[in-house]
């Protein structure tokens, strides 16, 4: 049995796991394991401009560039349902392993029928944790310190009930529609008055008319503090954790969706929270991870938090029982710091390989502070637009008086190649000139080697705000009459 002490040990342990295909709408989110798997490639839907640089590291196949057939939706299931995708996977040999963001029942049915091996937790194991209604039940079972609140059917929620809950919980409340499994602020509302309540009821009505079955609601006291998260990895030897990661939410320079609350926009890993808060957050994720292990869960997951520095409180908000938006940048920062990326243990758990690890030593390597940040860019217009600018992926430098200008300096995509705090890298789904974008569509990911948020308050540092505005202008988004 092999003891894993280095990236090279991981590579040797996983050399029998072949072929492995990382799949997604864009290629970049699955690139974090490229140095761990000897026989790895990427298969994505979009033919974005950053693929030319990713291809210098790993084989990348794009449906829009390399296959025939139209993808009906931009998700992994639609990618797997394409006949051209299935032909391609057959060409790789028997039982290819698929490295995905998360699984679903339909993906599993398709995988079982075609002999694909999934390197993620199956839906019957993971779904209960991502279900926001069930998570509160599980959290109570393991004595998590949840924000005070109530669970009720949406149809029982009236102005009168809203008023009574304000009397009980306080004026500022959070409404969370639990029928939504995906994050990004979908179905989350910060409400403090009747106007906000009416807006929520209007949202539910519109979504139901569009065919969405919305039934259940969490109403909780709004906790003061910072949005944060912590990553965990469930292994046979125990639960590994990251440090607390500051989440960037609702930042107007990059946020793509209007009318939502708590919309995820990125991370700032340079934030320091202190040993008390770190210890409380780690205790929470380990406690949950142990319960998940008992139910068959393995590998990566995330826990969203609210962190209050003034009284050293950490509140768990929801569980993301899957890969999260912290990846692959977090993995790159770990590797740059000399640690084995946390993805390694996820892959080892799903590979069937017997291995040993010193969980204490690995955790100590994950306790070291790291500095870096990412921002997710979106179409900020509230309409369909056409990209008229030819935006280059790669590395940019802040220039000019006050560092308010940006200049492209070279191609690439990796955190490891950032040379100074005056540089950032643009990658992940950068659209080509002429592409049609819907409101809120992702148009790239910007990665820094520095902090980007103000010390307090939910806003970007002044030079970063200007940088994002300058970068956004390069896209030259033009109003389009075309339908998406």
The whole-angstrom separation of Cα 279 and Cα 244 is 10
Same domain as 8, residue 90: yes
Same domain as 112, residue 26: yes
Structure tokens of 136?
């509160």
Ramachandran angles phi, psi of 224, nearest 5°: -80, 140
Share of the chain above pLDDT 70, in %: 96
Q: Which residue has the tokens 């291809």?
A: 55
Q: Are 108 and 124 in contact (CB under 8 A)?
A: no
| Helical H segments across 82-145, by residue range | 83-91, 105-114, 123-130, 132-141
Tens of pLDDT, residue by residue over 85-103, are 999 999 999 899 999 999 9
Instruction: Compute the average pLDDT of residues 219-241.
Output: 97
Q: Are 244 and 277 in contact (CB under 8 A)?
A: yes
Residue 71 maps to a domain: yes
The pLDDT, as a whole number, for residue 15 is 94
pLDDT at 468 over 90: yes
Q: Bigger pLDDT: 53 or 458?
A: 53
In 430-467, which positions are buried (b, 16+ CB within 10 angstroms) versus exposed (e)? bbeeebebebbbbbbbbbbbbbbbeeeeeebbeebbbb
pLDDT at 181 over 80: no
Helices and strands (DSSP H and E) totals, the chain:
15, 25
Same domain as 174, residue 106: no
Residue 281 maps to a domain: no
Q: Is the peptide bond before 89 cis (omega within 30 degrees of 0)?
A: no
| Number of domain units in the chain | 3
The whole-angstrom separation of Cα 431 and Cα 442 is 9
Domain residue limits at 458 = 373-479
Query: Which of 426, 361, 429 has its CA nearest to residue 392?
Result: 426
Given 222, 241, 268, which residue is the final one in a domain?
Answer: 222
Residue 179 maps to a domain: yes
Given 195, 222, 249, which residue is the final one in a domain?
Answer: 222
Share of the chain above pLDDT 90, in %: 88
Instruction: Compute the average pLDDT of residues 332-338.
Output: 96
pLDDT at 484 over 60: no
Given 194, 222, 250, which residue is the final one in a domain?
Answer: 222
Residue 335 maps to a domain: no
Residue 277 maps to a domain: no
pLDDT at 382 over 90: no
The whole-angstrom separation of Cα 368 and Cα 243 is 8
Tens of pLDDT, residue by residue over 12-50, are 999 998 899 999 999 999 999 999 999 999 999 999 999
CATH number of the domain enclosing 189 = 3.30.1490
pLDDT at 206 over 60: yes
CATH number of the domain enclosing 29 = 3.40.50
Paired with 41 in beta bridges are 21, 59
């Amino acid at each position: 049995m092999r003891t894993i002490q280095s990236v090279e040990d991981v590579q040797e342990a996983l050399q029998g796991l072949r072929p492995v295909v990382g799949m997604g709408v864009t290629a970049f989110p699955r690139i974090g394991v490229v140095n761990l798997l000897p026989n790895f490639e990427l298969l994505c839907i979009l033919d974005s401009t950053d693929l030319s640089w990713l291809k210098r590291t790993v084989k990348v196949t794009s449906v829009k560039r390399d296959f025939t057939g139209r993808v009906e939706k931009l998700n992994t299931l639609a990618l797997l349902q394409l006949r051209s995708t299935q032909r391609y996977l057959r060409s790789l040999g028997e039982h290819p392993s698929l490295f995905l963001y998360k699984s679903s029942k339909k993906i599993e049915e398709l995988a079982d029928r075609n002999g694909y091996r999934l390197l993620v937790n199956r839906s019957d194991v993971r779904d209960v944790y991502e279900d926001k209604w069930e998570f509160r039940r599980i959290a109570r079972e393991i004595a998590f310190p949840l924000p005070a609140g109530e669970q009720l059917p949406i149809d029982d929620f009236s102005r009168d009930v809203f008023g009574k809950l304000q009397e009980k919980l306080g004026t500022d409340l959070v409404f969370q529609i639990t029928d939504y499994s995906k994050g990004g602020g979908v179905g989350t509302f910060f409400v403090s008055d009747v106007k906000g309540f009416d807006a929520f009821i209007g949202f539910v009505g519109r979504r139901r008319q569009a065919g969405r079955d919305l039934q259940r609601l969490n109403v909780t006291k709004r906790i003061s503090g910072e949005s944060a998260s912590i990553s965990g990895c469930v292994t046979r030897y125990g639960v590994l954790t990251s440090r607390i990661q500051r989440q960037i939410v609702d930042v107007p320079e990059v946020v793509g969706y209007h009318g939502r609350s708590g919309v995820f926009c990125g991370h700032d890993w340079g934030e320091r929270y202190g040993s008390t808060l770190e210890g409380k957050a780690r205790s929470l994720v380990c406690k949950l991870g142990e319960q998940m292990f008992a139910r068959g869960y393995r590998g990566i997951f995330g826990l969203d938090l609210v962190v209050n520095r003034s009284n050293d409180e950490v509140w768990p908000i929801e569980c993301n029982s899957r890969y999260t938006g912290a990846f692959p940048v977090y993995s790159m920062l770990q590797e740059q710091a000399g640690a084995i990326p946390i993805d390694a243990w996820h892959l080892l758990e799903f590979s069937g390989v017997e291995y040993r690890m010193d969980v204490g030593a690995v955790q100590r390597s994950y306790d070291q502070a790291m500095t870096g940040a990412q921002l997710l860019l979106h179409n900020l217009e509230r309409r369909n637009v056409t990209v008229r600018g030819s935006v280059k992926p790669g590395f940019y430098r802040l220039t000019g008086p006050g560092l308010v200008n940006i200049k492209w300096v070279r191609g690439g995509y990796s955190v490891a190649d950032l040379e100074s705090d005056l540089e950032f890298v643009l990658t992940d789904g950068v659209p080509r000139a002429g592409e049609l974008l819907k409101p809120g569509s992702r148009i790239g990911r910007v990665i820094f080697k520095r902090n980007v948020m103000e010390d307090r308050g939910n806003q970007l540092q002044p030079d970063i705000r200007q940088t994002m505005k300058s970068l956004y202008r390069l896209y030259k988004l033009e109003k389009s009459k075309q339908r998406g």
